[in-house]
Amino acid sequence: MELVTGGAGFIGSHLVDALVSNGKTVRVLDNFSSGRLEFLSHHEDSEAVEVVKADLLDSEAVRRAMSGVEVVHHMAANPDIRLGTTVTDTDLKQGTVATYNVLEAMRLEDVGMISFSSSSAVYGEADVMPTPETYGPIKPISLYGASKLASEALITAWCGTFGAKSWIHRFANIVGPRGTHGVIYDFIHKLKVDPSRLEVLGNGMQEKSYMSAHDCVQAMVHLVDNTDSDVNLYNLGTGDTCSVRRIAEIVVEQSNLEGVSIDYTGGDRGWAGDVPKTSLDVDSLFSTGFRPEMMSEEAIRNTASALISEIGL
Amino acid sequence: MELVTGGAGFIGSHLVDALVSNGKTVRVLDNFSSGRLEFLSHHEDSEAVEVVKADLLDSEAVRRAMSGVEVVHHMAANPDIRLGTTVTDTDLKQGTVATYNVLEAMRLEDVGMISFSSSSAVYGEADVMPTPETYGPIKPISLYGASKLASEALITAWCGTFGAKSWIHRFANIVGPRGTHGVIYDFIHKLKVDPSRLEVLGNGMQEKSYMSAHDCVQAMVHLVDNTDSDVNLYNLGTGDTCSVRRIAEIVVEQSNLEGVSIDYTGGDRGWAGDVPKTSLDVDSLFSTGFRPEMMSEEAIRNTASALISEIGL
């Protein structure tokens, strides 16, 4: 039995799909704050997926959910990085403390393996790009990035002190169907309100690594199956980047709307804590034999098309 | 006004001394869980030191203590690294959550500078020794180390999101008068119970960087005065190391006890989460013009002598 925290969320639900298609039995633990039952509706009649509604801050519920579990895929987190600029305790609670509760429940119930969705946000504004896993010292600039690094540290400490085994995946920006946040999602919602104009926060020059949710969960599964250290820490991405300007153009193209004006508010970042440029070095991931099916632009185009269908214009 | 959290503790009280002798006015915030009022008794009649008894988990009290403060020296933490092997939430609360409360109070009260006592424990078992600040990825193996890395991440996120300025000091093992824990302190207490025999956990081959508390707080003050980035992150140490075996010998020498047998329990580490060997690269610190007065062995000898007087044999 594999436990997926946040398994009804955007990336979590894609991971459930991947695990089920590999023949695994999956228990989903989700508080449905951003997860949706409909993301798992195609498993409704399957014996392979069990859904438990509970919050990771309820440590008793987390402990109960560990029963019979071999591997925990800890995907649950606040998905809205920008929220940290106005509400400062969300990432601490739903990120750091939630991860502590997961690890403590694992220790008490003798569950020995954890695969964790970390983020390139841990690197903050790195001096070296593409940024390899060996880059240091890392200085996250968002509260979200801080909670991811704090969670990584808790995981390595649990491995070092109590003998657990872990996979830490530092995700690029992950995009795809069922997205519930992020730049593509925001652009489509803006076009829905005003189909004549797309306002872009910042100057559009921000440039980041993107990866499709499908490739992301395939990479996670690949690493868990093919790497075997106590702590297996990898960047997950495609190796290329895409600018916000290009994303705006792709979303407008996919919308089939005519005469949309794209307006930039200016400034080198969208909001405080936003990293203007990220580029992940994925040589380590590729050295394990993994290759993504889509590069950044294709993942974005694909996502724009899927989300336009989901959201409706 | 400078605020020193944990200012009645071992290193905190040395920092208070250094700040006062530099002409600063100091407010100490301490919950006296391991701090002692007697460590500050020499400031009793001074106008320069104000003592507030409060816990960092009481966020209202932390906020009140920020009034009129320019720089926060955040020294408070659980000092007992080994405790994490049996009680798993101490470092989370007294480390990570306490740091969050300090930062949030700073944000709400417009305090813009924080100097933080981090630790070489963040490096876990590094492959590179001496370990420079640029080493990565860092994987703490103790819950204490995890809480220090989590606190660093919160600090850099606050700097990146809300514009604070920070100094992060990754301490070697700090030793000196007023020590309330650690290997020298433990050895003296063991000799007090049985003056004929000193039992050493592990094989005594563990080797770490030591620094005197006096040099440590001088280095902190030096860095705050002489470095000026948004985040100033430095290893603090002497550049050399000392083995546990040598420490045992020095403590026995300083005790003036005759015929003490030193017995080793065996194994390459004292306890789970203990790092067998640490060696800090201090080139960055030295490049700022700082030099310690004592190297590791001298700091240990000095400490053994002072603690034997304090504890009594």
Mean pLDDT calculated for residue range A114-134: 97
For residue range A281-304, what is the model confidence (pLDDT) as tens digits? 999 999 999 999 999 999 999 999
pLDDT band at residue B36 under the 50/70/90 scheme: very high
Instruction: Identify whether B195 is preceded by a cis peptide bond (ω within 30 of 0).
Output: no
C-beta atoms of A156 and B146 within 8 A: yes
Asked if the model's pLDDT at residue A273 lies above 80, the reply is no
CATH node for A177-208+240-278+294-311: 3.90.25.10
C-beta atoms of B157 and A142 within 8 A: yes
- The CATH 3.90.25.10 domain(s) of chain B lie at 176-208+240-276+294-311
Tokens of A134: 């060996």
Classified as helix, coil or strand, A200 is strand
Tokens of A300: 């974005």
C-beta atoms of B89 and A104 within 8 A: yes
In whole angstroms, give the CA distance from residue B135 to residue B129: 10
In whole angstroms, give the CA distance from residue B284 to residue B287: 5
Tokens of A246: 């290009």
pLDDT band at residue A7 under the 50/70/90 scheme: very high
- The CATH 3.40.50.720 domain(s) of chain A lie at 2-174+211-236
For residue B83, count other CB atoms closer than 10 A to its CB. Answer: 18
Q: What's the whole-number average pLDDT of chain A? A: 96
C-beta atoms of A156 and B124 within 8 A: yes
Q: What's the whole-number average pLDDT of chain B? A: 96
Q: Three-state SS across B48-108?
A: CEEEEECCCCCHHHHHHHCCCCCEEEECCCCCCHHHHHCCCCHHHHHHHHHHHHHHHHHHH
CATH node for B176-208+240-276+294-311: 3.90.25.10
The answer to whether A238 and A210 have CB atoms below 8 angstroms apart is yes
The answer to whether B72 and B112 have CB atoms below 8 angstroms apart is no
pLDDT given at position A275 = 81
pLDDT band at residue B110 under the 50/70/90 scheme: very high
Asked if the model's pLDDT at residue A271 lies above 90, the reply is no
For residue range A174-210, what is the model confidence (pLDDT) as tens digits? 999 999 888 999 999 999 999 999 999 999 999 999 9
Tokens of A261: 């004006």
Mean pLDDT calculated for residue range B29-43: 96
pLDDT given at position A3 = 98
ipTM over 0.85: yes
pLDDT band at residue A225 under the 50/70/90 scheme: very high
Q: Which CATH class is domain A2-174+211-236?
A: alpha beta
Of B136, B143, B161, Cβ closest to residue A84: B161
The per-type count for chain B, helices as H runs and strands as E runs, is: 10, 13
For residue range B268-304, what is the model confidence (pLDDT) as tens digits? 877 777 888 889 999 999 999 999 999 999 999 999 9
Asked if the model's pLDDT at residue A269 lies above 90, the reply is no
Mean pLDDT calculated for residue range A60-89: 95
pLDDT given at position A66 = 98
Q: Which CATH class is domain B2-174+210-236?
A: alpha beta
C-beta atoms of B160 and A149 within 8 A: no
- Chain A positions touching B136 (Cβ under 8 A) are 133-138
pLDDT given at position B274 = 80
**B91, B141, B280, best to mutate vs chain A, most A CBs in 10 Å:** B141
C-beta atoms of A100 and B122 within 8 A: no
pLDDT band at residue A267 under the 50/70/90 scheme: confident
C-beta atoms of B160 and A138 within 8 A: no
For residue range A78-91, what is the model confidence (pLDDT) as tens digits? 988 889 999 999 99
pLDDT given at position A276 = 85
CA distance B108 to chain A (A): 11
From the list A21, A292, A53, the residue with the least C-alpha distance to A176 is A292
For residue range B253-267, what is the model confidence (pLDDT) as tens digits? 999 999 999 999 988
- The CATH 3.90.25.10 domain(s) of chain A lie at 177-208+240-278+294-311
From the list B80, B82, B79, B77, the residue with the least C-alpha distance to B269 is B82
> What is the model's pTM?
0.96
Interface of A with B (CB under 8 A): 84-85, 88-89, 92, 96-97, 100, 104, 107, 122, 124-125, 133-143, 145-147, 149-150, 152-154, 156-157, 159-162, 231, 233, 272-273
